[in-house]
A = this chain, B = another copy of it.
Amino acid sequence: MTGSVTIVGLGPGDAAKVTPEVTAAIDRATDIVGYIPYVARIAPRDGLTLHASDNRVELDRATHALEMAAAGRQVVVVSSGDPGVFAMASAVFEALEARPDFLHLPVSVLPGITAMLAAAAAAGAPLGHDFCAINLSDNLKPFALVERRLRLAAQADFAMAFYNPRSSSRPHQFARVLEILREECEPGRLIIFARAVSTPDQQLRCVTLSDATDDMADMRTVVLVGNSATRRIGPHVYTPRSA
Protein backbone atom coordinates (compact mmCIF):
# COMPACT_ATOMS: atom_id res chain seq x y z
CA MET A 1 0.00 0.00 0.00
CA THR A 2 1.27 3.46 -0.84
CA GLY A 3 2.08 5.56 2.17
CA SER A 4 0.91 9.10 2.75
CA VAL A 5 1.33 12.13 5.00
CA THR A 6 -1.80 13.99 6.12
CA ILE A 7 -1.22 17.12 8.19
CA VAL A 8 -4.29 17.83 10.30
CA GLY A 9 -5.55 20.53 12.65
CA LEU A 10 -6.98 19.42 15.98
CA GLY A 11 -8.48 22.83 16.72
CA PRO A 12 -7.83 24.77 19.92
CA GLY A 13 -8.66 22.01 22.42
CA ASP A 14 -12.36 21.18 22.55
CA ALA A 15 -13.17 17.85 20.85
CA ALA A 16 -16.41 19.39 19.52
CA LYS A 17 -14.27 21.72 17.36
CA VAL A 18 -12.46 18.88 15.52
CA THR A 19 -13.86 18.46 12.00
CA PRO A 20 -15.19 15.04 10.91
CA GLU A 21 -12.59 14.79 8.12
CA VAL A 22 -9.78 15.17 10.65
CA THR A 23 -11.35 12.54 12.91
CA ALA A 24 -11.65 10.20 9.90
CA ALA A 25 -7.99 10.75 8.96
CA ILE A 26 -6.91 9.89 12.51
CA ASP A 27 -9.12 6.77 12.41
CA ARG A 28 -7.35 5.60 9.22
CA ALA A 29 -3.80 6.40 10.40
CA THR A 30 -1.12 3.86 11.23
CA ASP A 31 1.16 6.50 12.77
CA ILE A 32 0.58 9.83 14.54
CA VAL A 33 3.44 12.33 14.67
CA GLY A 34 3.46 15.56 16.66
CA TYR A 35 4.40 17.65 19.64
CA ILE A 36 3.82 15.81 22.96
CA PRO A 37 0.68 17.66 24.17
CA TYR A 38 -1.04 17.35 20.78
CA VAL A 39 -0.29 13.62 20.39
CA ALA A 40 -1.69 13.22 23.93
CA ARG A 41 -5.08 14.23 22.50
CA ILE A 42 -5.18 11.08 20.29
CA ALA A 43 -6.83 7.96 21.75
CA PRO A 44 -4.49 4.93 21.58
CA ARG A 45 -5.75 1.88 19.68
CA ASP A 46 -4.40 -1.34 18.20
CA GLY A 47 -2.56 -0.74 14.95
CA LEU A 48 -1.78 2.89 15.75
CA THR A 49 1.71 4.03 16.78
CA LEU A 50 2.04 7.37 18.53
CA HIS A 51 5.29 9.29 17.93
CA ALA A 52 5.40 12.24 20.32
CA SER A 53 8.34 14.63 20.15
CA ASP A 54 9.45 17.76 21.93
CA ASN A 55 8.99 21.35 20.84
CA ARG A 56 11.53 22.95 18.43
CA VAL A 57 12.25 19.72 16.53
CA GLU A 58 9.64 20.41 13.84
CA LEU A 59 11.94 19.66 10.88
CA ASP A 60 13.15 16.35 12.34
CA ARG A 61 9.55 15.39 13.07
CA ALA A 62 8.48 16.31 9.53
CA THR A 63 11.32 14.30 7.97
CA HIS A 64 10.42 11.33 10.15
CA ALA A 65 6.81 11.55 8.90
CA LEU A 66 7.99 11.56 5.26
CA GLU A 67 10.33 8.61 5.89
CA MET A 68 7.54 6.54 7.40
CA ALA A 69 5.23 7.40 4.51
CA ALA A 70 7.96 6.33 2.07
CA ALA A 71 7.97 2.99 3.91
CA GLY A 72 4.24 2.61 3.23
CA ARG A 73 2.75 3.97 6.46
CA GLN A 74 -0.37 6.17 6.66
CA VAL A 75 1.09 9.01 8.70
CA VAL A 76 -0.96 11.79 10.28
CA VAL A 77 0.94 14.83 11.54
CA VAL A 78 -1.09 16.61 14.21
CA SER A 79 -1.04 20.32 15.02
CA SER A 80 -3.26 22.20 17.39
CA GLY A 81 -5.46 24.79 15.70
CA ASP A 82 -4.96 24.88 11.93
CA PRO A 83 -1.80 23.20 10.60
CA GLY A 84 -1.32 26.00 8.05
CA VAL A 85 -1.22 28.80 10.64
CA PHE A 86 2.14 28.89 12.49
CA ALA A 87 2.11 25.11 12.74
CA MET A 88 3.36 21.91 11.12
CA ALA A 89 2.30 22.28 7.47
CA SER A 90 5.11 24.66 6.53
CA ALA A 91 7.61 22.50 8.42
CA VAL A 92 6.60 19.43 6.40
CA PHE A 93 6.98 21.33 3.11
CA GLU A 94 10.39 22.63 4.25
CA ALA A 95 11.41 19.03 4.95
CA LEU A 96 10.04 17.98 1.56
CA GLU A 97 12.03 20.73 -0.16
CA ALA A 98 15.19 19.34 1.42
CA ARG A 99 14.28 15.80 0.34
CA PRO A 100 12.96 15.91 -3.25
CA ASP A 101 13.21 12.10 -3.33
CA PHE A 102 9.97 12.18 -1.29
CA LEU A 103 8.10 14.44 -3.73
CA HIS A 104 6.16 11.46 -5.16
CA LEU A 105 4.43 10.90 -1.80
CA PRO A 106 0.84 12.07 -1.35
CA VAL A 107 1.00 14.95 1.14
CA SER A 108 -2.22 16.72 2.08
CA VAL A 109 -3.38 19.29 4.62
CA LEU A 110 -6.72 19.26 6.47
CA PRO A 111 -7.63 22.62 8.03
CA GLY A 112 -8.72 23.13 11.62
CA ILE A 113 -10.12 25.86 13.84
CA THR A 114 -7.15 28.11 14.51
CA ALA A 115 -6.71 29.74 17.93
CA MET A 116 -7.37 33.31 16.82
CA LEU A 117 -10.75 32.44 15.31
CA ALA A 118 -11.79 30.39 18.34
CA ALA A 119 -10.73 33.29 20.58
CA ALA A 120 -12.54 35.81 18.38
CA ALA A 121 -15.73 33.72 18.52
CA ALA A 122 -15.50 33.46 22.31
CA ALA A 123 -15.15 37.26 22.57
CA GLY A 124 -17.71 38.25 19.92
CA ALA A 125 -16.35 39.31 16.53
CA PRO A 126 -13.19 41.38 17.08
CA LEU A 127 -11.71 40.10 13.79
CA GLY A 128 -14.93 40.94 11.93
CA HIS A 129 -13.18 43.16 9.43
CA ASP A 130 -9.72 43.29 7.79
CA PHE A 131 -7.11 41.76 10.09
CA CYS A 132 -3.64 40.24 10.24
CA ALA A 133 -1.98 37.39 12.10
CA ILE A 134 1.59 37.75 13.37
CA ASN A 135 3.79 35.18 15.07
CA LEU A 136 5.69 37.18 17.70
CA SER A 137 8.33 34.50 18.22
CA ASP A 138 11.79 35.33 16.94
CA ASN A 139 12.99 31.74 17.02
CA LEU A 140 13.11 31.70 13.22
CA LYS A 141 13.07 35.37 12.15
CA PRO A 142 14.66 38.60 13.43
CA PHE A 143 12.57 40.56 15.93
CA ALA A 144 13.15 43.67 13.77
CA LEU A 145 10.84 42.09 11.17
CA VAL A 146 8.17 41.61 13.84
CA GLU A 147 8.51 45.29 14.80
CA ARG A 148 8.24 46.45 11.20
CA ARG A 149 5.12 44.35 10.56
CA LEU A 150 3.50 45.57 13.76
CA ARG A 151 3.96 49.23 12.85
CA LEU A 152 2.69 48.81 9.30
CA ALA A 153 -0.29 46.74 10.51
CA ALA A 154 -1.20 49.44 13.01
CA GLN A 155 -0.86 52.12 10.31
CA ALA A 156 -3.14 50.05 8.05
CA ASP A 157 -5.64 49.92 10.94
CA PHE A 158 -5.85 46.15 10.78
CA ALA A 159 -7.26 44.26 13.70
CA MET A 160 -4.44 41.91 14.77
CA ALA A 161 -3.92 38.47 16.23
CA PHE A 162 -0.64 37.59 17.90
CA TYR A 163 0.49 33.99 18.24
CA ASN A 164 3.28 32.98 20.65
CA PRO A 165 3.26 36.38 22.36
CA ARG A 166 5.55 35.46 25.23
CA SER A 167 7.64 32.57 26.46
CA SER A 168 10.06 31.96 29.29
CA SER A 169 12.99 32.15 26.86
CA ARG A 170 11.96 35.65 25.66
CA PRO A 171 10.05 37.30 28.50
CA HIS A 172 10.72 40.91 27.46
CA GLN A 173 9.64 41.10 23.84
CA PHE A 174 5.92 41.33 24.51
CA ALA A 175 6.54 44.46 26.61
CA ARG A 176 8.27 45.91 23.54
CA VAL A 177 5.25 44.94 21.40
CA LEU A 178 2.96 46.87 23.76
CA GLU A 179 5.33 49.87 23.57
CA ILE A 180 5.12 49.87 19.77
CA LEU A 181 1.33 49.61 19.88
CA ARG A 182 1.24 52.59 22.29
CA GLU A 183 3.29 54.61 19.81
CA GLU A 184 0.98 53.73 16.91
CA CYS A 185 -2.52 53.40 18.45
CA GLU A 186 -4.82 55.38 20.75
CA PRO A 187 -4.85 54.47 24.50
CA GLY A 188 -8.42 53.17 24.37
CA ARG A 189 -7.63 50.50 21.77
CA LEU A 190 -9.16 47.20 22.93
CA ILE A 191 -6.95 44.16 23.53
CA ILE A 192 -8.19 40.66 24.30
CA PHE A 193 -5.99 38.16 26.09
CA ALA A 194 -7.44 34.73 25.33
CA ARG A 195 -5.81 31.88 27.22
CA ALA A 196 -6.39 28.16 26.58
CA VAL A 197 -9.46 28.89 24.48
CA SER A 198 -12.13 26.18 24.40
CA THR A 199 -10.43 24.16 27.17
CA PRO A 200 -11.56 23.92 30.82
CA ASP A 201 -8.78 26.45 31.59
CA GLN A 202 -10.19 29.11 29.24
CA GLN A 203 -9.68 32.71 30.39
CA LEU A 204 -10.78 35.76 28.40
CA ARG A 205 -9.78 39.26 29.44
CA CYS A 206 -10.49 42.47 27.54
CA VAL A 207 -8.59 45.62 28.49
CA THR A 208 -7.63 48.89 26.86
CA LEU A 209 -4.13 49.33 25.51
CA SER A 210 -3.36 51.76 28.35
CA ASP A 211 -4.25 49.07 30.91
CA ALA A 212 -2.48 46.18 29.14
CA THR A 213 0.64 44.73 30.78
CA ASP A 214 3.00 42.17 29.38
CA ASP A 215 2.32 39.62 32.13
CA MET A 216 -1.26 39.26 30.84
CA ALA A 217 0.12 36.95 28.12
CA ASP A 218 1.88 33.61 28.39
CA MET A 219 2.67 30.69 26.08
CA ARG A 220 -0.95 29.50 26.01
CA THR A 221 -2.36 32.94 25.15
CA VAL A 222 -3.43 34.32 21.81
CA VAL A 223 -3.72 38.11 21.84
CA LEU A 224 -6.29 39.96 19.73
CA VAL A 225 -5.97 43.70 19.14
CA GLY A 226 -8.97 45.55 17.76
CA ASN A 227 -8.81 48.12 15.01
CA SER A 228 -9.70 51.76 15.72
CA ALA A 229 -13.44 51.02 15.43
CA THR A 230 -13.56 47.89 17.60
CA ARG A 231 -15.97 48.37 20.49
CA ARG A 232 -17.66 46.68 23.44
CA ILE A 233 -21.38 46.12 23.59
CA GLY A 234 -22.48 44.40 26.77
CA PRO A 235 -20.23 41.35 27.17
CA HIS A 236 -19.29 41.29 23.47
CA VAL A 237 -16.36 42.84 21.59
CA TYR A 238 -16.79 43.37 17.88
CA THR A 239 -15.45 45.20 14.86
CA PRO A 240 -18.05 46.75 12.53
CA ARG A 241 -18.15 45.64 8.91
CA SER A 242 -17.60 49.20 7.70
CA ALA A 243 -14.18 49.78 9.24
Query: Which positions in A face B, CB cutoff 8 Å?
Result: 11, 14-21, 24, 58, 82-86, 89-94, 96-97, 100, 103, 107-114, 117-118, 120-122, 124-135, 140-141, 145, 148-149, 152-153, 155-158, 231, 233-234, 236, 238-243
Contact = CB atoms under 8 A, between A and B. Distances in A.
A111 B111 contact: no
A89 B82 CA distance: 21
20 contacts: A17-B111, A58-B241, A84-B120, A84-B121, A84-B127, A84-B128, A86-B241, A89-B124, A90-B128, A93-B128, A93-B238, A94-B238, A96-B233, A96-B236, A103-B234, A110-B121, A132-B153, A152-B152, A152-B156, A153-B158
A110 B133 CA distance: 20
Given A113-B113, A117-B82, A120-B111, A89 B125 contact: yes
A132 B133 contact: yes
A236 B241 CA distance: 33
Number of copies: 2
A84 B83 CA distance: 20
Task: Indicate the member of A93, A107, A109 with the most B CB atoms within 10 Å.
Answer: A93
- A interface majority secondary structure: mixed
B18 A14 contact: no
A90 B125 contact: yes
Given A109-B125, A132-B131, A236-B107, A16 B11 contact: no
Q: What 5 A-B pairs come out closest when comparing CB atoms?
A: A90-B128, A89-B125, A132-B132, A16-B21, A93-B238
B158 A132 contact: yes
A91 B155 CA distance: 25
